[in-house]
C-alpha cells in the first residue's frame, strides 16, 4: 500500500556524494550476500519442531514509527528526522515508495489469518538504519518490531531494488557535464577547483 504520492526522481535534487557512496556499499553488500549463498539449499522442508513464536505486535510498531516520523504532525521535527535518518524525509519516502513499487517483498500483505504483515515503512527503515549506522539486525526489533531474519531479508530486497532502479545513473562514471557541475557547486561554496568532499582530501 503506497501512502505517499511523490515522484522519486525529484528527490535527488540535493548535492551529496553520500548517495553515490551508499550505492557502492549496497552493490558490495549484494555481491557478498550472493557469494555467501552460492551452493546453499533454498528449499524449506517442513516446519521446525517447537519453534519459539514471538508476537511482536507489528501494527503497534508501524503506528509508532508513522506517528513519530511520518505523520503530518509527527512527534519529531524535520531536523530530528534528518539527523536520525541521515537524509530528509522527502527523499526517504521516495526511496521507500520506489522500493515498494519495484520489489513485491516490500509490499504489506495479509497472512492466512488476515493479519497484516510488516509495512514498507518498517522494512525500509530497518534496512536504511543498517546501512546508515551499521547496526546489528537484532537492534531494530524493540522499536520497529521486526525479527532479525526479516531485517536481513528486507535489507537484501532494499539494496537490490535500489541498485536495479538507480544503478545505471548513480553508479556510472562521471562525465564532463558532471565534473563541471560539481566544480561549479564547489566554487559557489568557497572551494574552487575541488571535486568531492573536503574530508576526503588528503
Task: Determine contact, residues 60/143, Cβ cutoff 8 Å.
Answer: no
CB 104 within 8 A of CB 157: no
User: Which secondary structure element, helix H or strand E, spans residue 17, and what is its range?
Assistant: helix 17-36
List pLDDT tens digits, range 135-161.
Answer: 888 787 778 888 888 888 988 999 899
Instruction: Identify the pLDDT of residue 10.
Output: 45
Residue appearing with cell numbers 548517495 = 19
Q: Are 53 and 147 in contact (CB under 8 A)?
A: no
**DSSP-assigned states of every residue in 61-96:** HHHHHIIIIISTT-SS-HHHHHHHHSS-HHHHHHHH
Look at residue 93 and tell me whether its pLDDT is greater than 80: yes
| pLDDT tens readout for residues 21-56 | 666 666 776 767 666 666 555 555 555 566 666 777
What proportion of the chain, given as a percentage, has pLDDT over 70?
70
pTM above 0.95, yes or no: no
Amino acid at each position: 500500500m503506497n501512502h505517499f504520492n511523490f515522484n522519486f526522481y525529484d528527490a535527488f535534487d540535493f548535492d551529496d556524494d553520500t548517495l553515490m557512496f551508499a550505492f557502492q556499499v549496497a552493490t558490495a553488500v549484494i555481491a557478498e550476500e550472493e557469494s555467501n549463498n552460492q551452493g546453499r539449499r533454498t528449499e524449506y522442508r517442513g516446519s521446525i519442531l517447537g519453534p519459539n513464536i514471538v508476537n511482536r505486535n507489528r501494527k503497534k510498531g508501524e503506528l509508532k514509527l508513522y506517528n513519530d516520523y511520518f505523520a503530518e504532525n509527527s512527534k519529531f521535527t524535520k531536523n530530528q528526522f534528518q539527523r536520525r535518518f541521515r537524509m530528509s524525509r522527502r527523499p526517504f519516502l521516495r526511496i521507500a515508495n520506489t522500493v515498494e513499487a519495484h520489489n513485491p517483498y516490500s509490499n504489506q500483505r495479509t497472512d492466512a489469518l488476515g493479519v497484516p504483515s510488516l509495512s514498507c515503512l518498517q522494512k525500509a527503515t530497518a534496512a536504511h538504519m543498517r546501512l546508515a549506522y551499521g547496526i546489528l539486525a537484532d537492534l531494530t526489533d524493540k522499536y520497529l518490531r521486526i525479527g532479525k531474519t526479516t531485517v536481513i531479508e528486507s535489507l537484501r530486497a532494499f539494496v537490490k531494488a535500489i541498485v536495479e532502479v538507480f544503478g545505471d545513473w548513480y553508479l556510472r562514471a562521471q562525465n564532463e557535464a558532471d565534473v563541471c557541475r560539481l566544480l561549479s557547486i564547489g566554487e559557489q561554496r568557497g572551494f574552487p577547483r575541488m571535486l568531492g568532499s573536503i574530508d576526503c582530501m588528503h
